[in-house]
């Protein structure tokens, strides 16, 4: 059995062994349930205009038996100061924003306590922007889902967006939560209308401190183990809807 996993950065981030990651745990549990080897192909996608086309090409190329599609809260609810500067029309600020985005992508900077404190202060003064709007992002997710389910032999499970456990100023925290709730509601509705197996964000999200790696963002082996339970049940439900009960 081949499982195409269109996941998030947790799938590959940090010094964990594959055996400790949720995708591998799910793979082994599905293999045991269905009595056949399972191969997982890892991918990740950015929800821009090309998102549905990219996913459709992966499905055509890989010919999977099942697809796990994770939608990320980061897309719509991560408040970014550099992104706000990058979108500014004031001379010089877009360059500052681009440099800030590059710095935030460097682990030595982004995972530094001083940088995080500076970032929080800037959120309260400079403000922020978000990568995508919930409605537009959900529309792209819906189109991708529709293209996958055209292949009736392919099982599909969708994992809902998991809350970010970031320390934020109260006003921005409330705004971020509202955007995430809007997005999650839209994705849940899409899956309901299209009869696609859906896993809500929880339980246990955002992860507790003892489930996080040193960057305080990505989960460690304990967090992966908890998430694997939810993801396994999601994919078991999706596969059984197409193939019938496991073990038969």
- Domains of the chain: which residue ranges? 2-77+135-243, 80-129
**Least reliable range by pLDDT among 71-75, 115-119, 180-184, 241-245:** 115-119
Beta carbons of 26 and 228 less than 8 angstroms apart: yes
What confidence score (pLDDT) does residue 80 get? Answer: 81
DSSP 8-state class, residue 199: E
pLDDT in tens, 23-81: 999 999 999 999 999 999 999 999 999 999 999 999 999 999 999 999 999 999 988 87
pTM to 2 decimal places: 0.86
Mean pLDDT over 10-31 rounds to 96
Beta carbons of 218 and 212 less than 8 angstroms apart: yes
Q: In which element (H, E) is residue 12 found?
A: none
How far is it, in rounded angstroms, from Cα 129 to Cα 123? 10
What confidence score (pLDDT) does residue 247 get? Answer: 76
How far is it, in rounded angstroms, from Cα 183 to Cα 162? 11
How far is it, in rounded angstroms, from Cα 210 to Cα 138? 32
Residue 7 has pLDDT above 80, yes or no: yes
How far is it, in rounded angstroms, from Cα 142 to Cα 194? 9
Beta carbons of 197 and 237 less than 8 angstroms apart: yes
The closest of 230, 163, 241 to 197, measured between CA atoms, is: 241
What confidence score (pLDDT) does residue 97 get? Answer: 44
CATH hierarchy code of domain 2-77+135-243: 3.40.50.1110
| Max avg pLDDT among 105-114, 131-140, 215-224 | 131-140
Report residue 108's pLDDT band, with 50, 70 and 90 as the boundaries. Answer: very low
What confidence score (pLDDT) does residue 109 get? Answer: 47
């Amino acid at each position: 059995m081949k499982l195409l996993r269109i996941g998030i950065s947790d799938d590959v981030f940090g010094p964990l062994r594959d055996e400790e990651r949720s995708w591998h745990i799910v793979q082994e549990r599905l293999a045991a349930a269905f009595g056949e080897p399972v191969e997982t192909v890892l991918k990740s996608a950015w929800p821009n205009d090309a998102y549905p086309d990219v996913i459709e090409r992966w499905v055509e190329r890989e010919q999977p038996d099942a697809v796990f599609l994770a939608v990320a809260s980061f897309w719509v609810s991560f408040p970014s100061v550099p992104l706000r500067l990058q979108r500014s029309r004031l001379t010089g600020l877009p360059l500052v924003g681009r440099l800030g985005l590059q710095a935030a992508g460097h682990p030595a900077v982004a995972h530094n306590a001083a940088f995080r404190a500076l970032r929080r202060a800037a959120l309260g003064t400079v403000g922020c922007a978000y990568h995508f709007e919930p409605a537009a992002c959900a529309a792209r997710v819906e189109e991708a889902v529709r293209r996958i389910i055209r292949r009736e032999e392919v099982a599909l499970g969708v994992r809902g967006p998991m809350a970010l456990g970031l320390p934020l100023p109260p006003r921005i925290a409330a705004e971020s939560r509202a955007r995430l709730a809007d997005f999650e509601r839209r994705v849940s509705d899409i899956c309901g209308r299209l009869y696609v197996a859906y896993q809500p964000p929880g339980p246990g999200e955002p992860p507790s401190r003892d489930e996080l790696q040193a960057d305080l963002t990505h989960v460690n082996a304990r967090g992966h183990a908890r998430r694997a339970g939810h993801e396994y049940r999601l994919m078991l439900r999706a596969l059984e809807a197409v193939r019938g009960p496991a073990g038969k």
